[in-house]
Amino acid sequence: MHSKINPALILLAGVGLLYCNKPVPVQELAQARDEIAMAEEEHAPEYSASNFQGARDALLASHQKLGSEEYDNAKQKAIDSFNQARAARVEASPKYTEATRATAEKTIAQADQAYAEELAKDDFSAAKKLYGEGTTAQGQAKAATGDAQLDTYRQAYRKFEAANSAGDKARTTALAQKGQMMQSLAGVQAILDKAERYGAKDLAPQEFQSATSDLAGARSDFDGNQLKTGSIKLKQAEEQAGLALSKSIEQYAAKRKAEATVAVNGAEKEIDGIPAGKEEVKTLRDYASAAREALNSATTNYGNQKYEDSIKDSDEAIRLAGIIREQALAAKGKYNVADRNTNITDNKNLGKLPAGWQLYEVQKKKPEDCLSCISQRPQIYGQTRLWTRIYQANKQVIKNPNLIYPGQKLFIPPKTGEIPALNRDEILTPAKQQPAQPQPMENKTETAPQENMK
C-alpha cells in the first residue's frame, strides 16, 4: 500500500547528504516513516486514529526541527513518531486482521451459496486454504509479543485478503453458470407436466406435490443466487417428479388400454349393424382392422413395460374407433337402419317441449354416451359438430361437456335457430290433470266422474 505522508517527508532520505557533518537523525526519521507506512497499511487511521495522527504530527515536527538545526529535538520527535506509529499498529493490527477475516468469511460463504464448491472448485478450494492459514496465523499472533506479534498479524491479514479475493473470484465464476442451471428447471418441469397428464395428481399425489414444491423452491433460490440450495432442491424435484411419473404412467396406460378395448369392440359392433354388401362396410372393416392392430400393439407394449408406447397405441385405437362409429352411424342413416342405441324418451307425461325439441336420456352402455356421439345419430342431427347445441341447451346440468352421466335427461334443440333457456322443472314434471268440469246431460242431474289426480 502507498503512504499518504506529506511529500516533503520524502526528502528525508537525502538529509544525510546535506548534513553529512551534523548529527542529523537519519535513521530515526527513516524508521518513523516506515512504521507510519505499515500503520497506514493496517488501517490505523480507522482503528487507531489518535495514535496514527500523533505519529504524523511528530514526524512533521521532527522535520521542522531539522530545518531549524535543532537536531536533538528533531531526533526526539522522530523517536516519538516511531513510538506512536508502533502504538497505532499494536492497536490497529488485531482489529484490522479480525475485520479482514470477517470479510473473507462472508465472501467465502457467499461463494458457497453460489455452489462454488462444485462450479468453481479451484478458486473455492484456494480461498478456503488461505482462510485456514490466516486463521492459524491470527491465533499465533494473539499469543506472541513485540515485533513477532505485529509480523504475525501482518501475515494473517494478508492471508485473509488473498482468501477474500479468491472467494470473490469463485463466486463470480459460479454465478456465471446460473443460466445453465435455470435451464435445468425446464427439464424437470417437463417431467412433472408429463406426470400430470398421466394423472399423477391423483395416482401419485405425495410425489407430485413434493416435486412441485421443490421445483418452486429451486426456482426461488436460483433467482436469489442461492445456487447451492437451489441445486439440492432441483435434484430432489427431479427425483420426485420421476417417481410421480413412473407411478402414474403404468396405471394410466392400463386405463387407456381398457378404454381402447371398449372403444374398438363397440366400433366393430357398429359395423355389424350395417346391411351386408354395402360399400361402406369394406372401408369400415379396414379401419377396424387397423384399430384392432393398434390395440394389440398397446397390449404388447404394456406387457413389456413400454408404457408411453402403449398409451400412444391406445390413443390411436380410440381415434380409429371414433371414425368407425361416426361413419357407421352415417351409413345407418343412409340406409334407414334403426339405431339400436338411440334413446328418445317418451314425452307423453312430460310438460310441453317447444316445437322441434326432443328429450334424450343418457345411456349406460359401452362405449359410453358422449355429446358428439348423441349429436351424430341420424335421429338427432346426424352431424358430430352440432354437439355444442346440445351443450348450450343443457348448461344447467352439464358443467363439463366431457362428462355426462347415465340417466341424465338432455333437451335436444332443433338443428338451427335460437336456443332459449327452458324451465327444466316445469318440463320434466308430469303435468297435473285438472278435474273434469260437470257436463250437462239431457234429463239427468249426475255429473261426469272426476278423473284421478296424478
Could you tell me if 48 and 1 are in contact, meaning their C-beta atoms sit under 8 angstroms apart?
no
Instruction: Reply yes or no on whether the pLDDT at 18 is more than 60.
Output: no
pTM: 0.57
Task: Give the model's confidence band at 452: pLDDT under 50 very low, under 70 low, under 90 confident, else very high.
Answer: very low
pLDDT tens-digit readout, 287-336: 999 999 999 999 999 999 999 999 999 999 999 988 888 888 777 777 76
User: Would you list the domain boundaries of the chain?
Assistant: 1-176, 198-337, 358-428
Residue 281 C-alpha cell reads as: 362396410
Grid cell for residue 333: 342413416
Residues 6+ apart with CB under 8 A from 342: 377, 379, 380
Residue 358, beta-bridge partner list: 412
* pLDDT of 426 above 60: yes
For residue 33, the number of C-alpha atoms closer than 13 Å in the C-beta half-sphere is 22
- Full DSSP string of 114-156: TTHHHHSHHHHHHHHHHHHHHHHHHHHHHH--HHHHHHHHHHH
- The answer to whether 35 touches 86, Cβ cutoff 8 Å, is yes
Minimal CA–CA distance to 85: which of 129, 43, 55, 42?
Answer: 55
Beta carbons within 8 Å of 203's beta carbon, 6+ residues apart: 247, 248, 251, 252
Q: Distance between CA 215 and CA 207 in Å, rounded?
A: 12
359 backbone dihedrals φ, ψ, rounded to 5°: -120, 125
pLDDT value at residue 274:
82
Stretch 204-226: mean pLDDT: 95
Q: pLDDT at position 11, please?
A: 42
Contact of 362 with 345, CB cutoff 8 Å: no
CA 13 centroid distance within chain: 68
DSSP single-letter state for residue 344: B
Burial class (CB in 10 A: 0-12, 13-18, 19+), 343: middle
Determine contact, residues 384/328, Cβ cutoff 8 Å: no
**Model confidence at 272: pLDDT above 70:** yes
Query: Does residue 48 surpass a pLDDT of 50?
Result: yes
Q: Burial, 315: exposed, middle or buried (Cβ in 10 Å; 0-12, 13-18, 19+)? A: middle
Q: Which parts of 193-334 are beta strand (E)?
A: none
Do 301 and 309 form a contact (C-beta atoms < 8 A)?
yes
pLDDT at 342: 53
Nearest 5°: phi and psi at 405?
A: -125, 145
Give ∠ CA 188-194-195 in degrees, rounded to 5: 90
How is domain 358-428 classified at the CATH fold level? Answer: Membrane-bound Lytic Murein Transglycosylase D; Chain A (3.10.350)
pLDDT of residue 21: 52
* Measured distance CA(262)–CA(250) in Å, rounded: 19
Give the pLDDT of residue 442: 35
> Which of these ranges, 108-112, 125-129, 146-150, 363-367, has the smallest mean pLDDT?
363-367
Please give the full DSSP string across 164-195, using - where no structure is assigned. Answer: HHHHHHHHHHHHTTHHHHHHHHHHHHHHHHHH
Distance, CA of 97 to CA of 140 (rounded, Å) = 12
Is-contact 56 5, C-beta < 8 A? yes
Answer whether 198's CB lies under 8 Å from 248's CB. Answer: yes
